[in-house]
Structure 1
Amino acid sequence: MAAPRAAAASAKQVTRRNFAEAARELGAHLESCDYVAVAAQKTGAPTGWRRALPVDTAETAYLKAKVAAESFQPLQIAVCPFLLRNSSPSTLVAYPYNFHIFPRDELQLGMPSYSFYCQSSYLSTMANAGFDFNMCIYDGISYLSRVQESFARQKICTPHVRPLLPLQSTSVADSVFKSRIKSRIMHWRKGYAEPNKKDDGSLVSSLSRLILGGETYGSRPSISIDVCSDHQVQLVLEAVNHISDDLVPLVVPDKVGAARAVCVIFTSSKEDKNLLLMDIQQSEEEKFCGFREVIDLLSSSQKPIVSYNCLNDLTMMHSKFVAPLPPNMHEFMCSLKMVFSSVVDVSHLWRQIGPLRKAKNIQAALSYLQRQYFVPMEIKIPEQDTAKVVSTENIVFLWGFRGKSVKELKSYLPGLHQIFSEDFEVKLLDKTCSALLFRNSGTAMQLLKEISSESPSLNNFFSEGLKAAGFEVYRKVCRLGLWDSELAEALERVSAEVAASTLSECNSSQIYWNSSLMLDLKEYLEC
């Protein structure tokens, strides 16, 4: 069997100057592709205990990803449709696009954002890699989320096509108004629909249009009819409807959204009328949509979305281009499913293939894939420990150890209490706090109960200034969003509020101890 070859292609750099063209090309590629890879280049990422930790559950990991998505700004979104051609030899064709985006407040409504966080280390890395910040800032594609766009449409009033609604009743004054408007429009239209065959010259033609009261909408003749109510708007629309099909009425609003006029546009043919209606719709979409058009293309294609860091990338996309992030993981996944129905996380692929579940690390998994499917790969992935599933009931958060290393802490604790003579592991979460994993079920709960009751057997523990809390305290820290504090400080603030009686009522969850954060979004797509 021959190895599939990946067709090399340089990424298309997309700014607002060539965005319309690139969006059309991307739409065509999405129709024919098998799947789409997405990735984001952001201005920073969480550090310290705010990053994804081995002790995080799906819920707490989502809360961390949520605050990161709301704090940092994407400057580039990479979108790459892949097409697998079953030729001989098989060929994998990639169509990479780099969309440069920037939160430009073009509508002057305070959206999408006036400020965001940056990390100097991230910006330095991007600059060293050749990232063009000038291109991003000056030519980056602006955007609004779907929710922001809805708000903007209410605030920004533009001429629009309004459907003709049946009038329930008309008065004598309505009939007079409608008759007068109809006569005026017919007289104006006659000057364009039945022009004088004699060439009167530009001056006479201009004077004729001035007398007729004509204006222009782009290159097409138009006339403006002043109105003072929605009822009069419907009268004008009805009058236009009874005159000719070559007229297109647009309702022109004032600053507060109330109709102030109806602009009647003359079209030269049925094709010209259809073209005008398409231009009106496209002009309105371009004004509000921006980069979100790409998200809509990805969503409507229904093609699988592939990413290496799905949780962080998709929370960011949801926050910036769809709507504010929901308060919990379940609601987020339900909302995300409405946009992207199929999501694949590369970091989970080896766990989904039967023989790979026995692989001890990702390097072994990649080796298997290469042997089995003959696919050449070059992937840089950090070293990971084994994906070991444990319960949060066996976790204790410990602080106050005065800068001791993991090795020092592991040898220091057994001398303070006999409970530490049991088998346990230590993981440093930040410089102020560590997590203890007890092998025996119930040991962590016993320790926390003794600490809560200030048992005399823990006098040495207390005298050393050590403090501890269970996972429920950490869960509450994340829910409260105490991100500006060191982890020990945040746990200290919350631990006093969690009574000992709640220790036995904590909701247990599973975590992946001693591994990078690994959340399979498929597990949460069912709502």
Structure 2
Amino acid sequence: MMKKRLFCSQASIQIENTVKNTNLSKKWRIKQVKKSNFSQVLEEMKPHISNSDFIAVSLQKTGSYSSPWQRVLPFDTPEIAYLKAKRSSENFQLLQFAICPFTLRASKLTAYPYNFHLFPRDELKFGVPSYTFACQTSYLTSMARLGFDFNSCIYDGISYVSRAQESSMKRHSGNSMLRANAVQALPATSVADAVYIERIRSRIKTWKSACKDSKRLQEDPLVKALRKVVLGEHGSRPCLDVDVCSERQVQLVLELMKEHSDDIVPLLIPTKRGGIQGLRMVLTSSKEDKILFEKELQDLEEGQVKNIRGFREVIDLISASGKPVIAHNSLDDFAFIHSKFLSSLPRSIDEFKHSLSSYFPYIIDMGHLMNEFNPSGTMNNMPAASSFLRNRFFAPIDIDIPLKGTPDEMNEGKIHGHNVLQISHLFAKLYSIVKRGQQHINEDNSLVLKNFANIFDPCSSPLENFDEDVRISSGSMIRLSCDDIVFLWGFRSGLSAGDLKTLLCRSHEAFSAEFDVKLVDKSCAVVAFRQPGLAGAFINAMGSGGACHEGLMELIAEGLRSANYETYKCVCNMSKWDSNLADSLDQVMMSADQFPVDSYERSPYEIWWDDNTVLNLDDV
């Protein structure tokens, strides 16, 4: 009903199509952010994020997959798609991260686009973490054609660490003092504890007396300097270092320091391996001086933390804002975001969703939003989607970009980060159309877009009464069970999908009914049977060596092998990421006794087959 109401008249279509395309992308100016201007831009963008309606993101990576079959394919279940996205994020790296907070008022889009140039490095020389990553030449070539400066990225790119890495670096840092937290109630002390406490109490009492006596004396400068060496000094304040041999002793000393809480501030002295080697007692001159010293410590810690976080400060700002985040490929993009800026990715997609929701509660995937207008799923890129909308709906959007900066900051003449503006512009069109179809709903963005949020399946939707289904396309879309899919390898090198289909037609009666053949890579093909039960009959015939099927026996003799969909799932679950899918399937088949293929749970999701994203080697 919504589509019928929103389809514009032919006259309005013609009016919009007659408006000259002024090539807005040439006028779009995106602020380029590097290490040299990062601190300034961070303060500038804080109000833009807090006052925005939505935040669009676009990532530029060093690659996505090492072999054709390792990318997300139309017949992948959500679990498999997640495992592939997980592998990609763990192997490749981010070099650009574009962010665009924007507001949408009627048909006016006010955008604040920033493109951050990233390069991971060990800024503080902690040795944690150690960065290595792969590169896909086609990705780097594409960036080079757009004028990307790799030297500038390496030397002036912004570094970053994840939340988990930050915690690890704090534990392993021996370069800074740490404020001691309040000690919890200790269990009953032993005789040894009592002796240790009295020894430290006496030492602290003697030290404080000596410090106070030195303040009353008018000493010779040389004597005064020697006294500072003997008594110790932290900045301009006297200090005393107390060595400890265990966590128990740390707690005992901190409990003792409650007696001196008016004028002494205890600091922990960490080791390089993450333990505590001692405590430093810093003596302040008054209550006001104690407050001032604690404020100095807090500022120092915040400065150190900011240096450690780097670009993750921006991720934390977006997370804290709670604003809806718009992405073009949310599963892949947020696998990278989780891996690089939060923590290591969990094993399953359900754990991933749960973990991510605590940081980003509202994520909208442009692909799923486009499916509302084009269920065939052929709009897999932004230019095609924009053209589709322009020809069918009247939804003009004016873009205003108030950002200002130097020519170098705005990177005039280049298009680094322009994808994030295209996402924002396309989303604004879709949002205005969806909102017109839901006029009974108020201005609350979450209500208007609630059906499109937090969907991470690859162009899929949950099913109520179906097992895992896939869609196989040969000009039309149909739904098939994963039980009707078979993987084949070991056929003659150089065979096209059409040639293989011809050979199969003569090999077994299962191929007398309608079926499709697609090459996944040069070593392996996937066969989809339209009629239920035929895949199982073919697999059984292969297992019997092709008995009673002369054509099939010949193919088996030439090396043809087969596997069902569960074997393919095992390949991904067991991380058998060989360059050829055939090699990975062989490994799993050989270890089938140890890893039974039916041990993995079935998940009730619908999976879409999109010819535009399937590698068809017939066309290569």
Residue 340, structure 1, aligned to residue 355, structure 2: no
Equivalent residue, structure 2, for 1:290:
310
Equivalent residue, structure 1, for 2:460:
none
Q: Is the 8 A contact 1:253 1:259 kept in 2?
A: yes
Distance of 1:262 and 1:425 partners within structure 2: 76
**Partner of residue 576 from structure 2, selected from 465, 476, 482:** 482
**Partner of residue 428 from structure 1, selected from 513, 516, 519:** 519
**Partner of residue 226 from structure 1, selected from 227, 234, 241:** 241
The alpha-carbon distance between structure 1 residues 114 and 360, as it changes in their structure 2 partners (threshold 3 A), is closer
The alpha-carbon distance between structure 1 residues 154 and 453, as it changes in their structure 2 partners (threshold 3 A), is same
* TM-score when normalising by structure 2: 0.69
User: Displacement of 1:72 after TM fit?
Assistant: 0.9
Distance of 1:419 and 1:253 partners within structure 2: 70
Query: Per-residue displacement from partner, 1:265-293 (whole Å, max 9, x unpaired)?
Result: 66977985575244123123124322222
User: Displacement of 1:361 after TM fit?
Assistant: 4.0
Alignment of 1:143-222 (within 5 A): 143-157=160-174, 158-165=176-183, 173=199, 175-186=201-212, 210=225, 213=228, 221-222=236-237
User: Displacement of 1:50 after TM fit?
Assistant: 1.1
User: Displacement of 1:180 after TM fit?
Assistant: 2.6
Q: Is the 8 A contact 1:388 1:512 kept in 2?
A: no
The alpha-carbon distance between structure 1 residues 488 and 326, as it changes in their structure 2 partners (threshold 3 A), is same
Letter in 2 for 1:350: M
Q: Relative contact order (C-alpha < 8 Å, sep 6+): which is higher? A: 2
Equivalent residue, structure 1, for 2:328:
308
The alpha-carbon distance between structure 1 residues 427 and 175, as it changes in their structure 2 partners (threshold 3 A), is closer
Q: Is the 8 A contact 1:252 1:262 kept in 2?
A: no
Equivalent residue, structure 2, for 1:200:
none
CA-based RMSD of the aligned residues comes to 3.9
Q: Is the 8 A contact 1:451 1:458 kept in 2?
A: no
Q: How many residues align?
A: 492
User: Displacement of 1:124 after TM fit?
Assistant: 2.2
Query: Per-residue displacement from partner, 1:326-351 (whole Å, max 9, x unpaired)?
Result: 22222222222222111111111122
Distance of 1:426 and 1:12 partners within structure 2: 47
The alpha-carbon distance between structure 1 residues 249 and 444, as it changes in their structure 2 partners (threshold 3 A), is same
Residue 468, structure 1, aligned to residue 562, structure 2: yes
Equivalent residue, structure 2, for 1:97:
114
Equivalent residue, structure 1, for 2:396:
374
**Partner of residue 609 from structure 2, selected from 495, 504, 513:** 513
Query: Per-residue displacement from partner, 1:245-269 (whole Å, max 9, x unpaired)?
Result: xx75544445452224234466977
Q: Is the 8 A contact 2:265 2:281 kept in 1?
A: no
Distance of 2:339 and 2:489 partners within structure 1: 34
The alpha-carbon distance between structure 1 residues 208 and 14, as it changes in their structure 2 partners (threshold 3 A), is farther
Equivalent residue, structure 2, for 1:418:
509
Q: Is the 8 A contact 1:390 1:511 kept in 2?
A: no
Q: Is the 8 A contact 1:389 1:513 kept in 2?
A: no
Q: Is the 8 A contact 2:180 2:268 kept in 1?
A: yes
Q: Is the 8 A contact 2:109 2:397 kept in 1?
A: no
Unmatched tracts of structure 2, length 5 or more:
1-11, 17-21, 245-249, 399-420, 427-473, 615-620
* TM-score when normalising by structure 1: 0.81
Letter in 1 for 2:109: L
Distance of 1:340 and 1:515 partners within structure 2: 32
Name the SS of the counterpart of 1:440 in structure 2.
coil
Q: Is the 8 A contact 1:78 1:99 kept in 2?
A: yes
Distance of 1:253 and 1:504 partners within structure 2: 47
Equivalent residue, structure 2, for 1:124:
141
Residue 17, structure 1, aligned to residue 17, structure 2: no
Bigger Cα displacement from structure 2, 277-286 vs 337-346? 277-286
Name the SS of the counterpart of 1:55 in structure 2.
coil
Bigger Cα displacement from structure 2, 33-42 vs 289-298? 289-298
Distance of 2:553 and 2:130 partners within structure 1: 48
Bigger Cα displacement from structure 2, 220-229 vs 138-147? 220-229
Q: Is the 8 A contact 1:254 1:260 kept in 2?
A: no
Letter in 1 for 2:132: S
Name the SS of the counterpart of 1:513 in structure 2.
coil
Q: Is the 8 A contact 2:547 2:553 kept in 1?
A: no
The alpha-carbon distance between structure 1 residues 510 and 447, as it changes in their structure 2 partners (threshold 3 A), is farther
Distance of 2:200 and 2:377 partners within structure 1: 82
Name the SS of the counterpart of 1:306 in structure 2.
strand
Q: Is the 8 A contact 2:172 2:271 kept in 1?
A: no
Name the SS of the counterpart of 2:607 in structure 1.
strand
The alpha-carbon distance between structure 1 residues 437 and 153, as it changes in their structure 2 partners (threshold 3 A), is same
Letter in 1 for 2:553: F
Equivalent residue, structure 2, for 1:28:
47
Letter in 1 for 2:82: Y
Q: Is the 8 A contact 1:248 1:266 kept in 2?
A: no
Q: Is the 8 A contact 1:149 1:288 kept in 2?
A: yes
Distance of 2:166 and 2:599 partners within structure 1: 47
Query: Per-residue displacement from partner, 1:407-431 (whole Å, max 9, x unpaired)?
Result: 2223332122222121111111111
The alpha-carbon distance between structure 1 residues 291 and 515, as it changes in their structure 2 partners (threshold 3 A), is same
User: Displacement of 1:475 after TM fit?
Assistant: 0.9
Equivalent residue, structure 2, for 1:494:
588
Distance of 1:213 and 1:327 partners within structure 2: 56
Distance of 1:41 and 1:148 partners within structure 2: 22
Name the SS of the counterpart of 2:487 in structure 1.
strand
